[in-house]
Amino acid sequence: MERNGTCQVVVGAQWGDEGKGKIVDVMAERADVVARYQGGANAGHTVVVGEDEFILHQVPSGVLHRDKECLLGNGVVLDAAEFLDEIDLLESRGIDAAPRVRVSNRAHLLLSYHKALDAAKEGHRGARAIGTTGRGIGPAYEDKVGRIGIRVADCGEPERLRELVEANVETKRGQLRLLGADEGDVTPKGVLAEIETWRERLLGFATDVSQRVARHLAAGRRILLEGAQGSQLDIDHGTYPYVTSSSTTAGGAAIGMGLGPKFLDDIVGVVKAYTTRVGNGPLPTEVESPLQEELREAGAEYGATTGRPRRCGWFDAVVVRYAARINTLTELAVTKLDVLDGFETVRLCTGYRASDADGGGEMDEFPANLALLERCVPIYEDHPGWGTSIAEARSWDDLPRAARRYLERVEELVGVPISRVSVGQSREQILER
């Protein structure tokens, strides 16, 4: 197959919320096409352009560049109502999104019954709840893997669509009943009416995205693939079951776009200079109060989708080294370094010490067994803080020596070079090395 263009992938290398939106935003400058390949409206990509802040959940953040084509691949679960609202919102703020955005006709639809089931299942799990975003992601991917999902292409076949909805509604009502939840509007008529509000309009965005990408690559264009969530939320490689339901790692980019893996050139892992996580599940370097609150306030660590406070901790090199391996990261982008400005000492976790019951040895690999993970303790290295604001830095050399040392140690521990560092929200505050 002919290929003259290039493909760059951006993935989160921690638990999501690494600031991929702003890295994608600057990288998009040099791309022709920006695409999303997994996840749904659970993502919240915040980008600041001048005085304006945009939070995008479903449309790729590259849309803020007026000359880029934006694609949503087959791996995405599409909340069509949210998607179209976002397009309208962008247009109302002067961004001509509609002519430039296309959706795979193989992407699965995420309907309101998926959201109802997400809430019902979380309620049912009680203390074992995952802490999902409530956007229906798990139930939508369950339908896809269970081979009963409804795809964008089905919107063009009203009779088939009706049959699929009827078959699905029956099982969804049964599931909701079993979980003790209200079946409400989940009737064939209600669901078909929901789809009808956007069906025709959505078809106007539908295309064969895989074929379109192949043509772009043959024509020498540059594609930027924008991951959502992070490696530790990957359905296979994350802290299962406290994960999302898609492949957030780089391999997911090939599957979710209909693109051969040989065509992925650069794989950029985005990491915060520390660690955060929303939702439940292990977070080895999580810090105690009052440091927890200090980090949260300094970094404004509240979820972009749900507003939930994020749990905070120090940078965990075990997590990022693991992400480097499973994604074959070729470079790192470190965000929010400025958040650490006010800390006298900054810590880096270099490994974990297993509990005595588990042999007490040092672990430098992230374990699959979450019980083992919960029993081990992080091994820290302390570094002096830089004690000054770095918000005005515009190049690597502008950074104080202590900050550079900290970054160099991160590189050493992870084994991947740092190519970009962000020291604030705006485009100029992303330093290229």
Establish if 229 lies at the interface with ligand IMP (CB under 6 A): yes
Distance in Å, CB of 242 to ligand IMP, minimum: 6
Establish if 347 lies at the interface with ligand IMP (CB under 6 A): no
Distance in Å, CB of 4 to ligand IMP, minimum: 33
Nearer to ligand IMP among residue 21 and residue 378 (C-beta): 21
Give the range of 177-185, 199-207, 237-245, 388-396 binding ligand IMP by CB under 6 A. 237-245
Q: Tell me the C-alpha to C-alpha distance, in Å, between residue 211 and each of 5, 34, 101, 116, 246.
A: 14, 15, 15, 34, 22
Strand order in the sheet with 33-36: 206-207, 101-104, 69-72, 33-36, 222-230, 6-12, 266-272, 331-335, 418-422, 430-432
Task: Name the residue number minimizing CB distance to ligand IMP.
Answer: 279
Nearer to ligand IMP among residue 140 and residue 354 (C-beta): 140
| Residues 270-329 contacting ligand IMP, CB under 6 A | 278-279
Establish if 131 lies at the interface with ligand IMP (CB under 6 A): yes
Establish if 104 lies at the interface with ligand IMP (CB under 6 A): no
Tell me which of 8, 10, 13, 16 binds ligand IMP, using CB under 6 A.
16
Establish if 17 lies at the interface with ligand IMP (CB under 6 A): yes
Distance in Å, CB of 234 to ligand IMP, minimum: 10
Neighbours of 197 (CB within 10 A): 12
Per the residue annotation, which of 25, 45, 114, 154 is the catalytic one?
Answer: 45
Give the range of 131-139, 156-164, 192-200, 379-387 binding ligand IMP by CB under 6 A. 131-139
Per the annotation, the verdict on 45 as an active-site residue is yes
Nearer to ligand IMP among residue 175 and residue 244 (C-beta): 244
Nearer to ligand IMP among residue 176 and residue 217 (C-beta): 176
Tell me which of 63, 90, 117, 137 binds ligand IMP, using CB under 6 A.
137
Distance in Å, CB of 185 to ligand IMP, minimum: 21
Per the residue annotation, which of 17, 32, 118, 341 is the catalytic one?
Answer: 17
Give the range of 64-72, 130-138, 162-170, 392-400 binding ligand IMP by CB under 6 A. 130-138
Establish if 385 lies at the interface with ligand IMP (CB under 6 A): no
HEC-encoded secondary structure of the chain: CCCCCEEEEEEECCCCCCCHHHHHHHHHCCCCEEEECCECCCCCEEEEECCEEEEECCCCHHHHCCCCEEEECCCEEECHHHHHHHHHHHHHCCCCCHHHEEEECCCEECCHHHHHHHHHHHHHHHHHCCCCCCCCHHHHHHHHHCCCCCEHHHHHCHHHHHHHHHHHHHHHHHHHHHCCCCCCCCCHHHHHHHHHCCHHHHHCCEECHHHHHHHHHHCCCEEEEEEEEEHHHCCCCCCCCCCCCCCCCHHHHHHHHCCCHHHCCEEEEEEECCEEECCCCCCCCECCCCHHHHHHHHHCCECCCCCCECEEECEEHHHHHHHHHHHCCCEEEEECHHHHCCCCEEEEEEEEECCHHHCCCEECCCCCCHHHHHHCEEEEEEEECCCCCCCCCCCHHHCCHHHHHHHHHHHHHHCCCEEEEECCCCHHHEEEC
Applying CB under 6 A, the site for ligand IMP has a residue count of: 20
Tell me which of 43, 71, 72, 283 binds ligand IMP, using CB under 6 A.
43
Establish if 44 lies at the interface with ligand IMP (CB under 6 A): yes
Establish if 135 lies at the interface with ligand IMP (CB under 6 A): yes
Establish if 42 lies at the interface with ligand IMP (CB under 6 A): yes
Establish if 132 lies at the interface with ligand IMP (CB under 6 A): yes
Establish if 212 lies at the interface with ligand IMP (CB under 6 A): no
Residues that bind ligand IMP (CB under 6 A): 16-17, 42-44, 130-133, 135, 137-138, 228-229, 233, 242, 244-245, 278-279
Q: Hey, which residues are catalytic here?
A: 17, 45
